[in-house]
Amino acid sequence: MTTKTASFLSLDDILTRDTKDLAKLPQGEFFVTKLQGKVPWTTVDQPEYKAAKKGCFKLKPTKKGQKPEMDFDDDKLKIRLIIEVVDKDPRSDFTFASKPLLEKLGVTTAEQAVERLVSPGEIHNWAMEIQETAGFSDEAQEEAAEDIKN
């Protein structure tokens, strides 16, 4: 019987890597049916994710005398993530917050622009893709670990 020795990441593995490589965020493209094209995006880092998530909580109405409860709006987080990742991508100047785009669509916010241009199913699928590249899946975590080894 042979036993396989586990190979763990060492501090030296990290210290010898280029700082730019360590900070590099995954990129992707998402085909939006109404736009008939691919929109490039760069995933979020931890501070950006926290900021997007923070704006998705609201106080839930309760009966008089009860402690207020926080309600989380998952759909709002999905839209906020899409806006963030598209806006920060260096490969295109497209942004859902573009004033000319908002005027053309007759809306006032980037959130409304996403709702107007991206179908509900696409919003969900795109947000899941973003979250997976940000490490919110077992598969993404395994791929990141493999990338570090190589």
Residue 135 backbone dihedrals phi, psi, to 5 degrees = 100, 15
Per-residue pLDDT tens listing for the chain (150 residues): 566 666 888 898 889 988 888 888 999 999 999 999 999 999 999 999 999 999 898 888 777 878 878 889 999 999 999 999 999 999 999 999 999 999 999 999 999 999 999 999 999 999 999 999 988 876 544 554 454 444
Q: Under a CB-based contact definition with an 8 Å cutoff, are residues 63 and 83 in contact?
A: no
Kindly write down the DSSP assignment for every residue of 111-149, as one continuous string.
HHHHHHHS-HHHHHHHHHHHHHHTT-SHHHHHHHHHHHH
In CATH, what number does 28-149 get?
3.30.2220.30
Residue 126 backbone dihedrals phi, psi, to 5 degrees = -65, -45
Question: For tokens 């709702």, what's the residue?
Answer: 115
Q: What is the pTM of this model?
A: 0.79
| pLDDT score of 148 | 44
- Amino acid, res. 106: G
Q: Is 17 exposed, middle or buried (0-12, 13-18, 19+ CB in 10 A)?
A: exposed
Alpha-helical runs (H) found in the chain: 11-15, 19-23, 46-54, 74-87, 99-105, 110-117, 120-133, 138-149
Tell me how far apart the alpha carbons of residues 45 and 24 are, in angstroms, rounded to a whole number.
10
Tell me how far apart the alpha carbons of residues 36 and 28 are, in angstroms, rounded to a whole number.
16
Tell me how far apart the alpha carbons of residues 80 and 96 are, in angstroms, rounded to a whole number.
10
